[in-house]
């Protein structure tokens, strides 16, 4: 049985050549984001954005929640995959970076599907639980501050319908999760979440060794 292959720049270029479906709007937002401090590291890869769009379609999602907007590239990818009547709530601690994406959302004709909330993510999630109740979303994407991933996950499980999907980014965290000398708060938080997920009987689970690690948790 074949083992997991190692990724190289040449192989990644090949994958993009044969599978990435790109366009001017997506490229424009990626290029503008890359000019920001830390922009390349904080933005999801183009192929991850395409995967998120595919997952929205596969789940038949009509309501999506995103925790961590940044410049809204993943927001754009998921919103374009929603049906016309679909909605996506995205939250970030500041509106500074999402304002960059807003112009691209409008160009793509999906700005009317996107509801932006600004504030502490825990407060936003508590507010959504109070407003909409449990099981209000078909898909949740978590890509925010790592130290509170466990909190975000628990609230996301509440907010996700039965059979819905929680997608968690950065669960391999630059490979630091396997290095015992990495004991910073972010790495420790990711390790603890991964360990908890492995035995969480509320979900069906897969961790994809793609990008920086993408975990899929389907609520039973």
Q: What are the boundaries of each domain within the chain?
A: 9-219
Q: What is the mean pLDDT of residues 88-108?
A: 96
Query: Could you report the per-residue pLDDT of 17-40, keeping only the tens digit for each?
Result: 999 999 999 999 999 999 998 888
Q: What percent of the chain has pLDDT over 90?
A: 94
Can you read off the two tokens belonging to residue 23?
A: 């366009």
CB distance 103 to 28 below 8 Å: no
pLDDT for 1 equals 59
Model pTM?
A: 0.96
Q: Please state, in angstroms and rounded to a whole number, the distance separating the CA atoms of residues 90 and 140.
A: 10
Query: Could you report the per-residue pLDDT of 197-212, keeping only the tens digit for each?
Result: 999 999 999 999 999 9
Q: Give the β-pairing of 63-67 and 203-208.
A: unpaired
* pLDDT confidence bin for 220, thresholds 50/70/90: very high
Cβ neighbours for 174, distance < 8 A, ≥ 6 positions apart? 212
Q: Please state, in angstroms and rounded to a whole number, the distance separating the CA atoms of residues 72 and 81.
A: 14
CB distance 117 to 91 below 8 Å: yes
List the CATH code of the domain at 9-219.
Answer: 3.40.50.150
Q: What percent of the chain has pLDDT over 70?
A: 99
Q: For all residues of the chain together, what is the average pLDDT?
A: 96
Q: What is the mean pLDDT of residues 34-63?
A: 94
* pLDDT confidence bin for 57, thresholds 50/70/90: very high
Strand order in the sheet with 203-208: 114-118, 87-92, 63-67, 137-142, 160-169, 214-219, 203-208
Query: Could you report the per-residue pLDDT of 118-161, keeping only the tens digit for each?
Result: 999 999 999 999 999 999 999 999 999 999 999 999 999 999 99
pLDDT exceeds cutoff 90 at 41? no
pLDDT for 48 equals 97
pLDDT for 42 equals 86
């Amino acid at each position: 049985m074949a083992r997991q292959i190692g990724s190289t720049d040449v192989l990644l270029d090949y994958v993009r050549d044969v599978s990435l479906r790109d366009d001017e709007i997506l490229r424009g937002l990626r290029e503008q984001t890359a000019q920001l401090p830390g922009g390349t590291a904080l933005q999801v890869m183009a192929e991850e954005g395409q995967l998120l769009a595919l997952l929205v379609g596969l789940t038949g999602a009509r309501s999506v929640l995103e925790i961590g907007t940044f410049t809204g590239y993943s927001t754009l990818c998921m919103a374009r995959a929603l049906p016309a009547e679909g909605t996506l709530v995205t939250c970030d601690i500041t509106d500074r970076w999402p304002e960059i994406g807003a112009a691209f959302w409008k160009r793509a004709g999906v700005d009317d599907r996107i509801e932006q909330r600004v504030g502490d993510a825990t407060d936003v999630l508590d507010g959504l639980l109070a407003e909409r109740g449990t099981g209000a979303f078909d898909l949740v994407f978590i890509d925010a501050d790592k130290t509170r991933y466990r909190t975000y996950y628990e609230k996301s499980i509440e907010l996700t319908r039965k059979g819905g999907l929680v997608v968690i980014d950065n669960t391999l965290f630059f490979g630091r999760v396997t290095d015992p000398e990495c004991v910073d708060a972010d790495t420790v938080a990711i390790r603890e979440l991964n360990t908890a997920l492995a035995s969480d009987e509320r979900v069906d689970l897969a961790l994809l060794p793609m990008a920086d690690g993408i975990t899929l948790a389907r609520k039973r």
